[in-house]
């Protein structure tokens, strides 16, 4: 590394700064030396809605945490146990830290790897309770289990030309796709997506490429709804009506859908703008048809110190589960196993089938502008902010 490492550091609710941080080392969070790792020069790294939950103070994230789990980079240093990639390769890093060796990894459930986090199943970079792995909203970062985790782009020059699209492979595009798959979207499906943020838009793009007949996206934010309409989806304005089935009926003639995707999570709000952490899940059961499917890529946490309800502070929500049970609906939750999807989604991007950067309105900013990016994103800007730590994406914006 020829220059100092700098990264986005969480210092407390609504307070992040770009600071000098330690150079990455080939060490596990507990200090063990590892040789299955690589050091990356970060080419692009994105601000995620999941990061925003921490920055708002809605998790137990500690001050001093280096943020960032959406990492695309150039390989500059290899451990002695790395065989499948080379210096200079441009690679996509799944947000999941996964060993590739445990039972769940072998079953392609890399979001709940059993070995990379001593406190519970599942690891991630720069995220609370996910194993202590240093985040990648930085100039340089270490990636463990490199042969298993890294997705190498076959043509570096081609990849750099499409970097605004390919940077979405680390998280939001596979997450949206995972939500659509778990909602059983297929040819001719009617689909409702809660939330027109980047993950919701990625879910919409995924539903479209999977063959959905109509894709509706509900939100309270008029700018996000306008962008959803601009890129070809049916916007559902939730700001003045609490009968979601009626709003859906206005579009497709019936008050129910085949597939429902929750891209909001635990900070959900009702039509009146007040927090109702279970409102999306209850709406999902209400408007999804009998034997329909509900995908839940939206984040739900085990502890929410900022919740207004005492039960929700412990992750307990008031669900009308009997409704979903009576309708024989299927539910699927949890972290997305990115490695299950990222290669085929890469192919769709490289062959012009999935213009995800335009769909999520990717906007390139400098690393130093990250704090402002967080503020703008928190205000509901209809954009996906892509950080450019080394000024390599100037022509990609």
Same domain, 132 and 244: no
Whether 309 maps to a domain, the answer reads yes
Mean pLDDT, residues 361-379: 96
Q: Which of 43, 25, 42 is nearest to 34 (CA)?
A: 25
Shared domain check, 305 and 199: yes
How many beta carbons lie within 10 A of that of residue 254, not counting itself?
Answer: 12
Yes or no: say if 382 and 226 are a contact pair by the CB < 8 Å rule.
Answer: yes
Per-residue pLDDT at 397 exceeds 50: no
Q: 10 Å Cβ neighbour count for 391?
A: 8
Which of 289, 305, 333 represents a domain boundary (last residue)? 333
Q: What is the pLDDT of residue 305?
A: 84
Residues 68 and 129 in one domain: yes
pLDDT band of 271, cuts 50, 70, 90: confident
288 and 349 inside one domain: no
CATH label of the domain that carries residue 151: 3.90.180.10
| pLDDT digit string, tens, across residues 61-77 | 999 999 999 999 999 99
* Residue 268 pLDDT exceeds 70: yes
Domain boundary among 311, 333, 355: 333
* 49 lies in the same domain as 141: yes
Q: What is the percent of the chain where pLDDT is above 90?
A: 86
Q: How many domains does the chain have?
A: 2
The pLDDT confidence band at residue 152, using thresholds 50, 70 and 90, is very high
The bridge status of strand 71-78 relative to strand 38-46 is: antiparallel
Whether residues 147 and 226 fall in one domain: no
**Residue 394 resides in a domain:** no
Residue 396 lies in a domain: no
Residue 375 belongs to what domain range? 6-171+337-388
Overall average pLDDT of the 344-366 stretch: 97
Domain termination site, one of 333, 348, 379: 333
pLDDT value for 2: 63
Q: Does residue 308 surpass a pLDDT of 90?
A: no
Q: Are residues 153 and 19 in the same domain?
A: yes
pLDDT at 99 over 50: yes
The pLDDT tens digits of the residues spanning 30-69 come to 999 999 999 999 999 999 999 998 999 989 999 999 999 9
320-333 pLDDT tens trace:
999 999 999 999 99
Q: Which residues contact 44 (CB under 8 A, 6 or more apart)?
A: 72, 73, 163, 167, 364, 386, 387, 388, 392, 393
> Would you say residue 240 has pLDDT above 60?
yes
Q: What is the mean pLDDT of the chain?
A: 95
Select from 365, 296, 390, 381 the least CA-distant residue to 335: 296
pLDDT in tens, 2-19: 689 999 999 999 999 999
Residue 397 domain-assigned?
Answer: no
The answer, yes or no, to whether residue 347 has pLDDT greater than 80, is: yes
Residues 140 and 150 sit within 8 Å (Cβ to Cβ): no
Do 200 and 57 lie in one domain? The reply is no
154 with 226, same domain: the answer is: no
- State pLDDT tens for residues 102-119: 999 999 999 999 999 999
- Give yes or no: residues 121 and 75 share one domain: yes
Residues 229 and 325 in one domain: yes
Confidence of residue 266 (pLDDT cuts 50, 70, 90): confident
CB burial string 219-243: b at 16+ within 10 A, e below: bbbeebbebbeebebbbbebeeeee
Q: Which of 38-42, 251-255, 269-273, 336-340 has the lowest mean pLDDT?
A: 269-273
State the pLDDT at residue 277. 84
Residue 310 has pLDDT above 90, yes or no: no
- CATH, residue 205: 3.40.50.720
What residue has token string 């699209």?
165
Nearest to 146 by CA among 44, 46, 75, 66: 75
Q: What DSSP letter does each residue of 151-190 carry, written as one string?
A: EE-S-HHHHHHTHHHHGGGGTHHHHHHHHHHHTT--TT-E
Kindly state whether residues 230 and 261 are assigned to the same domain. yes
- Asked whether 36 and 20 are in contact (CB, 8 A), the reply is no
Asked, for residue 393, whether it belongs to a domain, the answer is no
């Amino acid at each position: 590394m020829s220059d100092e490492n700098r990264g986005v550091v969480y210092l407390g609710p609504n307070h992040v700064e770009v600071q000098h941080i330690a150079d990455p080392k080939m060490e596990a969070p507990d200090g063990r030396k590892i040789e299955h790792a690589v050091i990356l020069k970060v080419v692009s790294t994105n601000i995620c809605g999941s990061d925003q939950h921490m920055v708002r103070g809605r998790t137990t994230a500690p001050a001093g945490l280096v943020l960032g789990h959406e990492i695309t980079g150039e390989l500059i240093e290899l451990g002695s146990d790395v065989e499948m990639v080379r210096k200079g390769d441009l690679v996509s890093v799944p947000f999941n830290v996964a060993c590739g060796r445990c039972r769940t990894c072998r079953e392609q459930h890399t979001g709940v790897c059993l070995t990379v986090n001593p406190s519970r199943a599942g690891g991630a970079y720069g995220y609370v309770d996910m194993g202590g792995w240093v985040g990648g909203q930085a100039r340089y970062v270490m990636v463990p289990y490199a042969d298993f985790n890294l997705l190498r782009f076959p043509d570096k020059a081609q990849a750099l030309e499409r970097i605004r699209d390919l940077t979405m492979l680390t998280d939001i595009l596979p997450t949206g796709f995972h939500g659509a798959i778990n909602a059983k979207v297929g040819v001719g499906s009617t689909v409702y997506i809660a939330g027109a943020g980047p993950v919701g838009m990625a879910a919409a793009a995924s539903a479209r490429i999977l063959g959905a007949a109509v894709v509706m996206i509900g939100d309270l934010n008029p700018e996000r709804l306008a962008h959803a309409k601009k890129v070809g989806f049916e916007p559902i304005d939730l700001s003045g009506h609490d009968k979601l089935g009626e709003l859906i009926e206005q579009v497709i003639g019936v008050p129910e859908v085949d597939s429902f995707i929750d891209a909001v999570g635990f900070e959900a709000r009702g039509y009146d703008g007040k927090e109702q952490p279970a409102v999306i899940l209850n709406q999902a059961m209400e408007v999804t048809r009998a034997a329909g499917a509900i995908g839940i890529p939206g984040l739900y946490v085990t502890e929410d110190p900022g919740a207004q309800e005492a039960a929700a502070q412990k992750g307990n929500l008031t669900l009308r589960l009997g409704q979903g049970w009576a309708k024989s609906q299927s539910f699927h939750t949890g972290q997305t196993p990115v490695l299950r999807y990222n290669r085929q989604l890469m192919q769709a991007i490289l062959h012009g089938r999935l213009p995800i950067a335009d769909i999520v309105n990717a906007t390139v900013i400098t690393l130093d502008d990250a704090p402002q990016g967080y503020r703008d994103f928190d205000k509901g800007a209809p954009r996906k902010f892509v950080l450019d730590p080394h000024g390599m994406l100037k022509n990609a914006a």
